[in-house]
Each structure stands twice: as structure tokens, then as C-alpha cells.
Amino acid sequence: MLSVSRAERIVHSGHGMNLQAEELRQRVKHFAVRIIRFVRTLPRDPAGDAMGRQLVRSGTGVSSNYRAACRARSRAEFVAKLGIVVEEADEAEHWLDVIYESRLSAGPELEWLRSESRELRAIFVASLSTARKNHSKSSNPQILKSLNP
């Protein structure tokens, strides 16, 4: 399992895929699949349908947007796309918490998804922070160089 501390090594320049990035890509895809399967078990009523739709969008959005971030053409694009991943991970965590607190569902699968959503959000927040720092470090010399020819 990929930890938050290992997330620091995931961030790359957006060119190519390293092993940790591939592991995380598989992990978030697995999360998306489990989200879809979980939503199919929710009650077929207005509340279940509404929360299920929101959860499917955000839960699968983590995976699809991380995949897009891994294909970024620049550091700036990587940072921007990773920001979207953080938003989707946070939203998925929110909907899972609402489902739990409203007692719409319960059980080990919901607990696993809630735990995994918290871990993924933490990983992506740490990765985004590192990516922003790396981007600002790499951007500053270029800015200074262009201002002082």
C-alpha cells in the first residue's frame, strides 16, 4: 500500500511514468471500480440515487483525472490537473461520509471506501504540495533569467 510519505516520490515532471505513479494509478482505478460496485448496492430511492450519482462522478473522477495528470505535458499542467484530483478525492470522501452519517449504507465495504478515500486525499494533497514547490523552484530561475538578460 502506498503511504503519504511515499507520495513525495510520486510527483514527477509530467514526462513518463515512474513505478510509484503506476502503482497509484492502479490503486485509484481499483478505488473507482469499488465505488461503482458499492453504488449499485445503495437503496433505489431519491436519496440513494442522488448520492450514488455524486459518488460515482467524484470517485471515478479521482482515477480519470490522475490518469490525465500523469500524461501532463508540463509541470504547470501536472500541478493544475493534480489540483482537480485533490478536489475529486475530497468530494468522494464527503459523499462517503454523508452516506455513512445518514445511515444510507453500512458495512465493511463502506468502511474500506471511507478509509481509502481519506488515504488517497492525503496522498494527493501531499503530492500537490510537493509538485507546487518543485514547480515554483523550477520556474523562478527562468523568471529571473528572463528579467536579467
**What is the pLDDT, as a whole number, of residue 17?**
60
In eight-state DSSP terms, residue 57 is H
Is residue 69 within 8 Å of 88, Cβ to Cβ? no
Three cell numbers at 142? 527562468
SS3 content of the chain, % helix, strand, coil (to 5): 80, 0, 20
- Mean pLDDT across the chain: 86
Is residue 67 within 8 Å of 84, Cβ to Cβ? no
- Convert the pLDDT of each residue in 121-132 to its tens digit: 999 999 999 999
Q: Which CATH number fits domain 4-147: 3.40.50.970, 2.60.40.1730, 1.20.1440.60, 1.10.10.10?
A: 1.20.1440.60
Sole residue written with cell 458499492: 38
Could you tell me the residue ranges of all domains in the chain?
A: 4-147
Is residue 48 within 8 Å of 104, Cβ to Cβ? yes
pTM: 0.80
| Terminal-to-terminal C-alpha distance of the chain | 48
Q: What is the mean pLDDT of residues 38-48?
A: 97
The counts of H helices and E strands in the chain are 5, 0
**What is the pLDDT, as a whole number, of residue 147?**
36
3-state secondary structure of 83: helix
Sole residue written with cell 433505489: 44
- Convert the pLDDT of each residue in 67-106 to its tens digit: 999 999 999 999 999 999 999 999 999 999 999 999 999 9
Q: How does residue 139 score in pLDDT terms, banded at 50, 70 and 90?
A: low
Q: What is the mean pLDDT of residues 40-47?
A: 97
